[in-house]
């Protein structure tokens, strides 16, 4: 039966002058995809024939694979191959397995953190193993206080290195005086 079906689908996929609709392929769910050439339009019309009878409320975009959705919306010119669809299914399985592993790893890490927290709480309660407590006086702020008054500053109280630079400035100014 498979050979007859394949031969029939091959016959339906031929672009013959009297044929208005051409079979373009099927997906892994055995939904069939057709393309119709319309003379009044530059774009073709594309449609899907579902393998299962669906009621109007059961139609959803995720029933057909993403590759076929792209072809139906003219985002992709060539229809996807069966190999592409199989690779996508395998990719989704690997992704689901990786997600499962990551969730398990996160749960293990959370359990380890909870266990460490319980051990630390238990160690503090025991006493001899608890960390040494520091007296609060050790961490008091060291500030000048409310009575602090800043010292006065005058330009004459500059360090000696700056006074030598002012002398060089004065000598340089003398060189450029006009007589």
Same domain, 69 and 49: yes
Same domain, 52 and 114: no
Picking from 80, 113, 136, the residue at the C-terminal end of a domain is: 80
List beta partners, residue 45: 36
In a domain, 156, yes or no: no
Torsion-angle region of 145 (φ positive above 0: left; ψ -120 to 50: alpha; else: beta) = left
Domain that holds residue 53: 7-80
Same domain, 102 and 116: yes
Same domain, 12 and 73: yes
Per-residue pLDDT, 157: 57
Q: How confident is the model at residue 177 (pLDDT cuts 50, 70, 90)?
A: low
Q: How confident is the model at residue 40 (pLDDT cuts 50, 70, 90)?
A: confident
Same domain, 47 and 69: yes
How many structural domains comprise the chain?
A: 2
Same domain, 87 and 74: no
Give the range with max mean pLDDT: 27-31, 91-95, 110-114, 119-123.
Answer: 91-95
pLDDT digits (tens, 9 = 90+) for 20-34: 888 898 898 889 999
Same domain, 49 and 59: yes
Torsion-angle region of 148 (φ positive above 0: left; ψ -120 to 50: alpha; else: beta) = beta
- pTM here is 0.54
Same domain, 12 and 62: yes
Same domain, 75 and 85: no
Residues whose CB falls within 8 Å of the CB of residue 145, separated by 6 or more in sequence, listed in order: none
Give the range with max mean pLDDT: 70-74, 150-154, 155-159.
Answer: 70-74
Same domain, 94 and 43: no
Same domain, 13 and 71: yes
In a domain, 152, yes or no: no
């Amino acid at each position: 039966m498979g050979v007859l079906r394949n031969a029939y689908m091959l016959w339906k996929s031929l672009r013959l002058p009297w044929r208005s609709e051409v079979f373009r392929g099927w997906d892994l769910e055995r939904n069939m995809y057709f393309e119709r050439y319309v003379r009044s339009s530059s774009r073709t019309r594309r449609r899907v024939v579902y393998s299962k009878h669906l009621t109007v409320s059961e139609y959803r975009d995720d029933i057909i694979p993403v590759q076929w959705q792209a072809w139906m919306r003219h985002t992709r010119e060539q229809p996807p191959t069966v190999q592409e669809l199989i690779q996508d299914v395998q990719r989704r399985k690997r992704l689901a397995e990786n997600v499962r592993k990551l969730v398990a790893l996160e749960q293990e890490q959370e359990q380890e953190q909870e266990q460490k927290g319980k051990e630390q709480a238990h160690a503090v309660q025991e006493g001899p193993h608890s960390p040494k407590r520091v007296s609060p006086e050790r961490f008091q702020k060291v500030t000048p206080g409310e009575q602090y008054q800043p010292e006065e500053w005058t330009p004459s109280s500059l360090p000696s290195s700056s006074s030598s630079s002012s002398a060089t400035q004065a000598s340089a100014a003398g060189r450029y005086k006009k007589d």
